[in-house]
Amino acid sequence: MLFNPRNLIAWLALLALAGATVWAISFSPDPPADFTFANEAEVKSLDPAIITGQLEGRIVDCIFEGLTRWDPQSLEPRPGVAESWEISPDKRTYTFHVRHNAKWSDGTPFTAADFLFSHRRALDPQTGCDYSYIYWTIKNARKYNTLRVAAGDPVEIELNKPADATSFARGEVLRGKLVSVEPPFPKDVATEEEDPPKRTYVVEIAGKKRTFQPGDGENGCQFVLLDFSEVGLKAIDDYTYQITLENPTAYFLQVTGMFPLYPVQKKCVETFGYPGWVSAENLVSNGPFRIGSRKIRERMRLVKSDTYWGRNEVRLNSIDALVIESRTTALNLYLTGKVDWIPAPPPAIAQQLLAEKRDDFHPMPEFTIFFYRLNVKKKPLDNKLVRQALGLAMNKQAIVEGVTRAGEVAARSFVPLVIRKYAKYANYEPGQCGTYNPKEAARLLAEAGYPGGAGIDTIPLLANSDDTRQMVGELIQRQWKESLGINARLVNQEWHAYLDTMNKKDYSIGAGAWIGDYIDPNTFLGMFVSGGTDNQTNWSNKDYDRLIADAAKEQDDQKRLQDFHDAEQILMDEMPVIPVYVLVTRNMVRPYVHGFFENALDTHPLGRIWVDAEARNRLLHTEGLR
Amino acid sequence: MIWFIAKRLLWMVITIWVVFTVSFLLMHAAPGGPFDRERKLTPEVKANIERRYDLDKPLPVQYFHEMFRDLHGDFGYSYNLGDFSVNQIIAAGLPRSATLGILALVFAVTLGFCAGVVSAVRRGGLLDFTLMSLATIGIALPSFVIAGMAIIAFVFVWPIFPAAGFGSLRQAILPSLCLGAPFAAEIARLVRTGMLDVLGQDYIRTAYAKGLPTRTVILRHAMKGAVLPLVSYLGPTIVDILTGSTIIEQIFAIPGLGYHFVQSALNRDYTLAMGVVLFYTVLLCSINVVVDIVYTVLDPRVKVE
């Protein structure tokens, strides 16, 4: 038997298996970092203009720095790239002085022009910045961002780019005066067009009239935008940056510390385009850390930057952000000493952790509310009395004690009360709704013409598929049945389906959570103005709209808070939303980590934290982990 | 033979096209889109993002665009993990899943094969009963239960393995054992059946009649026959095990490919979902062709038609 294909196949298979096994068991493990934490998923992007989420923020806050940064404890603005600033008497103009020693991670000096470039890029409709609305307090920023122009406006026309241009590099820009736009835009910049039509622009450029139509045609162009010089952003010189606002915006210095306003380097962005510029090899940043390496869904290694102006205050040399999607897994890693911080253990175990009275778990109320939206166009929710009855028949205390159980606070207002922890808002009086009162609820329902729930069909109660939301829904279902005789049917939809239903306003009652962007009532109350994008309840109230608009213009802090109080009182009386409870932070942080603070926005800049290595060794040793 | 391969390849192309079309339609029929947020996007911003991803075009145009691009082996950029192309994501995930899969496979085949042979030889005995009961449990228990028990036992009670993560052999052992366990059980049952089948054959009786010792009969003559059902089982199993398990990868935080099969659809990440589905289909179809060819070589009774 010289050659037998059967034997050959057997040998080949064995050889392949042996080779594969050798390959499979050869690893080159990374040495551990100074500080390791579990991030909950792979970040969607490292581009500060594109991201929206908290887990992206954790990384981006390490590698970039804005004009100001947030104090992790008091949430007060602290000097960032800007070492100081002045505010004009009318509170509309902010002049920032950029540090002379600020540098990019490639060593090039940092100038005010970098902010101008970055902020224009975030407002450029082409960028698709989710968070661009945070810029809209800046003069004309909303117009520029949403392509609003009217006859007579100075405009800039971005011509189509050559096919090989990188994303974010702009096409040739022409400037002129808009003669006409057909069809015209709605007068009020706040009125949104669900389905923007195709438009034709006639622009006078150097005395000649030219026609433009966004698109690929003969008169094609990318965009016709308001001339950027009309927007309240100016680089006065290399180290002076000036921002002019539409209205005095009391919380603006918080906004300048948010990641949508972080600077990005023009050279890097325009050379590599998106997503090339955010790759570990190409990314140039200006924060306390830079990206060392990035392995998809495995880990991100951040390395201390040696060009950061405040590098002497940065005590960690490296940080590992592990991608751990399962909260149980994250907890296991934490308990076995492999990570130093997990943002949230599984909800089911929070109560047990609290009962253990651990020194590394201190939940604190967050600036986040769990609430129900009531679609006021659906019967019987069009009746204010029914909405109030539903609110009063909800035993919120039973929900936080029976379901969530991690220290959540039953809510009577839409703005979480934790706002009062912060100096400027210590005496904010929230507008409140009534406490649990099933008798009064039944009376209101009868007054509305539905005694004992008679005449009310089963109401669908929409939530996304989430264990906690489902359990809360079940409890409310029972409470409404018992006190009001109203039948609710739980509808659970998977996340994107749920968002779709809510956006189409195809629901009656829908669960939702809202996370404040900054500490100010505006981040919660601004959403319910008539026609607001996130209102979604079809509710509209002229007095409410006026109060929110007044608050925006008001220079006096006390009067401003009074406006918000009055507005919130209307919201709580009219009850297009029922606030249920205020969420809590759930960080678990090893006690040898210093400089880590709980705060209402659950934001934890890692630039100034440090690890007591000796205490760590001692602790892990006592727990038998080393 | 060439005709056979050509025919199989043709079927493969048709299968892949059907999978592509069905996935495309299902995905676009699902409510919501990749850019829905709890905080709704302004229409202008949304329109521009959609323009960037071609989502403003009519569905048939998108269909052919996507097909054309995929045919060039370029699956485009992920919507949800926008910093990476789908090709990059697959290229990063596959080796990790494969590492785990290979270790699981070695474990499953070794253990399953031995258990199957022993059970068949000791048919009806206590050993057979024990092994087959274990195998039944192994098949019946969902992998998250096995993984949960393994973590309690080997991470907390007797801490010899790390809880999760990827990067060292120690981290890989526990997940590969958990991943391989149900396969080992299934292989054991298959091999046992195959063995029993062979042991009843005339040529085995002949071997015994010639006076060969039991060991030789089993190892030299019977085992070869018992391998056959294993080969047809291993084809698709290899694809399955190498492309990763959603559950095991999540429990042990393995940055493999398995996660994307479910998560990309939930995220409405059209490109990534399409990419992993097509990748899996091509791999599965190719392996099946290979298995068919190998089979004809291994078993002279099977003829190529």
pLDDT digits (tens, 9 = 90+) for B20-36: 999 999 988 888 888 87
- Residues A257, A260, A266, A269, CA torsion sign: positive
Q: How far apart are CA A70 and CA A308, in angstroms?
A: 17
Q: How far apart are CA A578 and CA A373, in angstroms?
A: 7
Interface membership of A491 toward B (CB under 8 Å):
no
Q: How far apart are CA A331 and CA B253, in angstroms?
A: 12
Q: Judge: B31–A503 Cβ closer than 8 Å, yes or no.
A: no
**pLDDT digit string, tens, across residues A189-226:** 888 777 788 899 999 998 899 999 988 888 888 889 99
Q: Specify the pairing of strand A208-214 against strand A220-221.
A: parallel
Closest CA to B79 of B270, B256, B258: B270
Of B48, B102, B266, the CB nearest to A21: B102
Q: Bridge partners of A320?
A: A36, A301
Q: Judge: B250–A25 Cβ closer than 8 Å, yes or no.
A: no
Q: Judge: B151–A333 Cβ closer than 8 Å, yes or no.
A: no
Interface membership of A122 toward B (CB under 8 Å):
no
Q: What is the mean pLDDT of chain B?
A: 88
Q: Judge: A336–B155 Cβ closer than 8 Å, yes or no.
A: yes
Of B52, B99, B252, the CB nearest to A128: B52
A and B: number of Cβ contacts within 8 A:
179
Residue B304 has pLDDT above 60, yes or no: no
A617 CA to chain B: closest CA distance, Å?
A: 18
**pLDDT digit string, tens, across residues A557-603:** 999 999 999 999 999 999 999 999 999 999 999 999 999 999 999 99
A30 CA to chain B: closest CA distance, Å?
A: 7
Interface membership of B298 toward A (CB under 8 Å):
yes
Q: What is the mean pLDDT of chain A?
A: 92
Q: Judge: B98–A24 Cβ closer than 8 Å, yes or no.
A: yes
Residue B240 has pLDDT above 90, yes or no: no
Confidence of residue B200 (pLDDT cuts 50, 70, 90): confident
Q: How far apart are CA B12 and CA B290, in angstroms?
A: 12
Report the first-to-last Cα separation within chain B, whole angstroms. Answer: 8
Scanning A149-188 for CB atoms below 8 A from B yields 167
**pLDDT digit string, tens, across residues A135-178:** 999 999 999 998 999 999 999 999 988 877 777 778 889 999 99
Q: Confirm if B170 and B155 have CB atoms less than 8 A apart.
A: no
Interface membership of A216 toward B (CB under 8 Å):
no
**pLDDT digit string, tens, across residues A468-515:** 999 999 999 999 999 999 999 999 998 889 998 998 899 999 999 999
What is the pTM (predicted TM-score) of this model?
0.91
Q: Judge: A326–B259 Cβ closer than 8 Å, yes or no.
A: no
Residues of B in contact with A536 (CB under 8 A): 40
According to the model, what pLDDT value does residue B86 have?
94
Interface membership of A326 toward B (CB under 8 Å):
yes
Of B30, B37, B253, the CB nearest to A130: B37
If you average pLDDT over residues A173-192, what whole number do you get? 90
Confidence of residue B234 (pLDDT cuts 50, 70, 90): confident
- Count of CB atoms within 10 A of residue A127's CB? 22
Closest CA to A22 of B103, B104, B21: B103
Q: Judge: B169–A193 Cβ closer than 8 Å, yes or no.
A: no
> Nearest residue on chain B to A47, judged by CA atoms?
B83
Q: Judge: B102–A45 Cβ closer than 8 Å, yes or no.
A: no
A514: burial class by Cβ within 10 Å (0-12, 13-18, 19+)? Answer: buried
B45, B219, B257: which to substitute to probe chain A, counting the most A Cβ within 10 Å?
A: B45
Q: Judge: A296–B267 Cβ closer than 8 Å, yes or no.
A: no
Q: Judge: A145–B44 Cβ closer than 8 Å, yes or no.
A: yes
* Residue B198 CA to its chain's centroid (Å): 28
B42, B54, B97, B107: which to substitute to probe chain A, counting the most A Cβ within 10 Å?
A: B42
ipTM for the whole complex: 0.89
Structure tokens at A433: 């709704």
If you average pLDDT over residues B227-238, what whole number do you get? 83
Interface membership of B221 toward A (CB under 8 Å):
no
Of A132, A167, A496, the CB nearest to B36: A496
Share of chain A above pLDDT 90, in %: 78
Closest CA to B288 of B218, B231, B224, B219: B231
Q: How far apart are CA A442 and CA A386, in angstroms?
A: 9
According to the model, what pLDDT value does residue A264 have?
96
Residues of A in contact with B103 (CB under 8 A): 21, 24-25
Interface membership of A133 toward B (CB under 8 Å):
yes
Is residue A481 within a helix (H) or strand (E), and if so which, with residue range? helix A467-484
Q: Confirm if A102 and A109 have CB atoms less than 8 A apart.
A: yes
Q: Confirm if A103 and A110 have CB atoms less than 8 A apart.
A: yes
**pLDDT digit string, tens, across residues B52-81:** 777 888 889 999 988 998 898 899 889 888
Of B103, B162, B172, the CB nearest to A338: B162
Q: Judge: B250–A329 Cβ closer than 8 Å, yes or no.
A: yes
Closest CA to B45 of A196, A437, A532, A228: A196
According to the model, what pLDDT value does residue A1 have?
46
Q: Judge: B81–A44 Cβ closer than 8 Å, yes or no.
A: yes
**pLDDT digit string, tens, across residues A258-311:** 999 999 999 999 999 888 999 999 999 999 999 999 999 999 999 999 999 999
Helix (H, G, I), strand (E, B) or coil at A49: coil
Q: How far apart are CA A264 and CA A121, in angstroms?
A: 9
Q: Confirm if A493 and A461 have CB atoms less than 8 A apart.
A: no
Where do the H-state alpha helices sit in A336-383? 347-355
**Mapped to the 3 state alphabet, what secondary structure does A243-299 carry?**
EEECCCCCCHHHHCCCHHHCCCCHHHHHHHHHHHCCCCCCCCCCCCEEEEEEECCCE
Of B41, B84, B251, the CB nearest to A296: B84
Q: How far apart are CA A135 and CA A124, in angstroms?
A: 12
Which has the higher per-residue pLDDT, A517 or B296? Answer: A517
What amino acid occupies position A50? I
Where do the H-state alpha helices sit in chain B? 2-29, 43-52, 59-71, 86-121, 126-140, 143-151, 169-199, 202-209, 214-216, 223-242, 246-251, 258-266, 270-298
Residue A7 has pLDDT above 80, yes or no: no
Residue A437 has pLDDT above 90, yes or no: yes
